[in-house]
Amino acid sequence: MRNREFVVETVIRVAGFSAIFFVILIFLFLMREGAPAFWEISPDNFFGERWYPNEDLFGTLPLIMGSLLVTLGAVVIALPLGLATAIFIRELAPDWLREILKPLVEILAGIPSVVLGFLGMVAVSPLVREWLNVPTGLTAFTGSLMLAYMSLPTIISVADDAIDAVPKAHRDGALALGATHWQTIWRVVLPAARSGVIIAVMLGIGRAIGETMAVMMVTGNAARIPSEWNALFFPARTMTATIAAEMGEVAQGSTHYQVLFAIGILLFVVTFVINAIASIVVIRGGPRRGGRLMG
Amino acid sequence: MLLLATLAACGRQQGEAETPEPGAGVGATLENKGSDTMVNLALAWAEAYSQIQTDLQIAVTGGGSGTGIAALINGTVDMANASRQIKPEEVEQARANGIEPVQHTVAGDAIAIVVHPSNPVDGLTIPQLADIYTGRISNWSGVGGEDRPIVLLSRESNSGTHVFFLENVVRQGLEGNDALFSPNTLLMPSSEGISAEVRQNPNAIGYDGLGYVTADQKVVDVALGEGRPYIMPSVETVRDETYPIARGLYIYTAGEPQGAVQAYLDWILSPEGQAIVQELGFVPLQ
C-alpha cells in the first residue's frame, strides 16, 4: 500500500518537474543553435532594415516590427469584442443562452489555424482590399483580424471566469445602493475582475504573437519597415512566418539557420516576458480582491 | 501548405521468399523532395510509375528547391527536385557531408508573368519587369496600364523559381548586378497563394511556372528588350528558345544513380515519362 503511494507520488512529481525541465531544455537548444548568430553577424546587420537571407542580409527589424504591428492590431480588435462577449455571457445573457454560447466559444478555439488562414486568403483579403481601397488585401490588418478571431476564445473564457469569480455580494451591494445594471458592471464587477481580465489580454497576446500559419497566409510576408501611420493596411512579415517559411530550406548549421533560431530566441523572450507580467499581475491582484471583499 | 503526399504504391509484400533485386527490393521506398513547381509533376510520375513497379514506394514532398537540395545535403532523400541549378556553396556543403550531387535534366519550363484578366497590359520587356520588381516603377501607368499601384507577388526565397527570377529578370542576367526585389514584394508561401491573389486583385503582378497558370489569370507576353518581339510562353517558344525566361527542371541524386533510382530516372526520361511532362503543362525534352 505504502509502496503504491510512493510510486504514484513519484510519477506525479516527475510529471510536474518535467514541464520545467522541458522548457529549460528547449531554451538551451534554442541558445545552442541560435546564439552564435549574435556574434557571427554584425549587430548592424542583425538589427538592420533589410531581410534577404539569400544575400546574407539578416535585418530582423522589419520582422520584429511586423510581429508587433500584427499582434497589437489583433489585441485592439479582440479586447473590446472579447470583453463585451464575456460580460454578455456572464452578466446579461439568460441562462439558456449562456449554456449555448459558452461551448460555442470553446468550439471557436478548435478551428485549425490553417483553415482560418485559407478563409482569410480567399474570403477576407478581397473584402479588405475593396472596403479599405488599399492596393492589396494581404495586409497586417488582415492578419490582425485573423489573430483577433483566434485569440477571442482565450480572452472570452478567461475574462468570463474572472467575472464569474466576483462575489455576488459585490453586485448585490451595488444594486442595493441604487446603481443601475450597467453601472454595476462597469464600476463594480469589471474593476473587481481586473486582474483576471488583464491575464485574459496577456494570454490573448501570447496566442497572437506565436501564431504562424494563418498569419503567413494572409499578411503578404513582405519584409518592409512599417514606417507610415497607416502601415497596418500594408503587407507585413512576422517573425513566426519567417521561421516557418524558411526553416525547411536552410542547411543545418549555416548562418541563416542560426539566425532563424536567434529569431526563435527573441520570440521566446517576448512570450516569457508576457507570461511573467501575467503571473505578476495574478500574484498582486489576488489579495487585493480579497481585501476589497472585506471593505 | 506543404504539399505533402505520400504515395504508397500498393506494396503488397508478395513473394517474401524471392530474392529481391539489389537496390529495388520488395517494399523499397524512394524519398523524393524539393521544388514546389515540380511537385505535381513528381507526383504524377510517381503515380504512373507505381503502376509499373508495384513493389516500389515513392514518397513525394514539396517545400521548395532549396528544401530539397538541403535534404539531399543532409542525406535524408534519394532524389531532390529542383527548378534551379545547384549553387556552388551547396555543392561544397554536400561534399563536406560526403555526398556528390549529380544533376539530371528531366523537363523544361517557362516562367510565365501573370496579371489580373482585366489588366490591359499585354506585353512587358525584361528591363521593364526588372524596374517593376525592384520598385522603380510602382504604378501600372508607368508601363502603359491604368493608374493603379502595382502589387508585386513572388514566391518565397527558398523557391527555385524565386532564385531563377532574381538572376534572370530582376538582375537581367548581368554579372555583378546586385539588384534585389523591392522590400514591398509579397512573398507567397505557395503557387496557389500567387494565383489566388492574381485572380482577384487587379493591381497584382506575379510569376510562376507555366504548368501552374490557370485560365483565370492573364499571361503577359515577354520581350528581351525594347523593339524585340513579344513572345507568349508555350511549349513551342521554349523549345525554339525564343521565350526569354525559360529554364530546365532538374532532379539531383547523391552520387551516380543506382538500382531503383536509376530505373526510375530512365523511365522519367522515356517517352512515357515525358508524355506526363506535356500533360501537366511543362515542356518535355526532345
Q: How far is A64 from chain B (nearest CA, A)?
A: 15
Whether A216 has a pLDDT exceeding 70, the answer reads yes
CA dist A138 and B139 (Å) reads 18
> Is B154 touching A (CB cutoff 8 A)?
no
Instruction: Compute how many other C-beta atoms are within 10 angstroms of the C-beta atom of residue A96.
Output: 8
Q: Is B271 on the interface with A (CB under 8 A)?
A: no
Tell me whether 0.85 is exceeded by the ipTM.
Answer: no
A250 interfacial to chain B (CB closer than 8 Å): yes
Do the Cβ atoms of B189 and A216 come within 8 Å? yes
- pLDDT greater than 60 at residue A292: no
Whether chain A has a CB inside 8 Å of the CB on B221: the answer is: no
Query: Does the CB of A248 have a partner CB in chain B at under 8 Å?
Result: yes
The predicted structure's pLDDT at residue A271: 83
Say yes or no: B10 contacts chain A, CB-CB below 8 A: no
Q: What is the mean pLDDT of residues A274-287?
A: 73
Report yes or no on whether pTM surpasses 0.95.
no
Q: In sequence order, which residues have a C-beta less than 8 Å from that of residue B76 and are 6 or more positions away?
A: B31, B33
Q: Name residues 71-110 of chain B within 8 A of A (Cβ).
A: 73-74, 90, 93
Give the nearest partner residue to B183 out of A137, A223, A249, using CB atoms: A223
Closest Cβ–Cβ partner in B178, B180, B203 for A136: B203
Give the residue from B37, B40, B33 showing the smallest Cα distance to B60: B33
pLDDT tens per residue across all 286 residues of chain B = 333 333 333 333 333 333 334 444 456 888 999 988 899 899 999 999 988 888 888 999 888 888 899 999 988 999 999 988 898 988 999 999 899 999 999 999 999 999 999 999 999 999 999 999 999 999 999 998 899 999 999 988 878 888 889 989 999 888 888 889 999 999 988 778 888 899 989 999 999 888 888 888 999 999 998 889 999 998 889 888 899 999 889 999 999 998 889 999 999 999 999 999 988 888 898 7
pLDDT tens-digit map of A146-192:
999 988 998 999 899 899 889 989 889 998 998 888 889 988 998 88
Q: Which of A53, A222, A248 sits opposite B186 (nearest CB)?
A: A222
DSSP A136: -
Quickly state the pLDDT bin for A145 (edges 50, 70, 90): very high
Q: Does A61 touch chain B (CB under 8 A)?
A: no
Contact B259, B30 (CB under 8 A): no
pLDDT of residue B214: 86
Q: CA A148, CA A70: separation in Å to the nearest integer?
A: 10
What does the radius of gyration of chain B's CA atoms come to, in whole angstroms? 20
Strand bridging mode A51-52 / A57-58? antiparallel
How far is the alpha carbon of A291 from chain B, nearest alpha carbon, in Å? Answer: 52
- Minimal Cα–Cα distance from B260 to chain A, Å? 26
pLDDT class for A285, splitting at 50, 70, 90?
low
Instruction: Please provide the DSSP assignment of B72-119 as one string.
Output: HHTT--SEEEESSPPPHHHHHHHHHTT--EEEEEEEEEEEEEEE-TT-
For the record, the C-alpha cell of A128 comes out as 479588405
Q: How far is CA B28 from CA A117, A166, B25, B261, B282, in A?
A: 37, 64, 5, 11, 29
Q: Does B193 contact chain A (CB < 8 Å)?
A: yes
CA distance B54 to chain A (A): 31
Q: How far is CA B151 from the centre of its chain?
A: 22
The percent of residues above 90 in pLDDT, for chain A, comes to: 32
> Angle CA(B140)–CA(B145)–CA(B148) in degrees, nearest 5?
40
Contacts of B156 in chain A (CB under 8 A): 221, 245-246
pLDDT in tens, A247-278: 876 777 788 899 999 999 988 888 888 888 87
Portion 121-150 of B in contact with A at CB < 8 A: 148-150
Q: Do A217 and B73 touch (CB under 8 A)?
A: no
pLDDT at B7 (0 to 100)? 38
Q: Work out the minimum CA distance from A63 to partner chain B, whole angstroms.
A: 12
Give A217's contacts in chain B (Cβ within 8 Å): 1, 189, 193
B157/A53 CB distance under 8 A: yes
Q: Does the CB of A220 have a partner CB in chain B at under 8 Å? A: yes
Please answer yes or no on whether A221 and B74 come within 8 Å at the CB atom: no
Q: What is each CA distance from B30 to A69, A223, B7, B43, B55, in whole angstroms?
A: 44, 37, 10, 12, 11
- pLDDT for the residue A294: 34
- Nearest beta carbon to residue B151 from set A135, A213, A216: A135
Report CB contact under 8 Å: A216, B149.
no
Q: In a 10 Å sphere around its CB, with 0-12 CB exposed, 13-18 middle and 19+ buried, how is residue A103 labelled?
A: exposed
CA–CA separation, A134 and A19 (whole Å): 46
Q: Where are the alpha helices (DSSP H) in chain A?
A: 2-34, 36-40, 43-46, 61-87, 95-109, 113-119, 125-132, 140-164, 168-176, 181-183, 190-192, 194-210, 213-218, 239-247, 255-294
Closest CA to A241 of A74, A117, A72: A117
pLDDT attached to residue A252: 76
* pLDDT at residue B46 in the model: 93
pLDDT at B49: 92
With an 8 Å Cβ cutoff, are B204 and A136 in contact?
yes
Per-residue b or e along B72-91, where b marks 16 or more CB atoms closer than 10 Å to that residue's CB: bbeeebbbbbbbbbbeeebb
Give yes or no for residue A44 having a pLDDT over 50: yes
Tell me if A121 and B156 make a contact (CB, 8 A cut-off): no
CB contact B258 to A (< 8 Å) = no
| Shortest Cα distance, chain B CAs vs residue A221, angstroms | 5
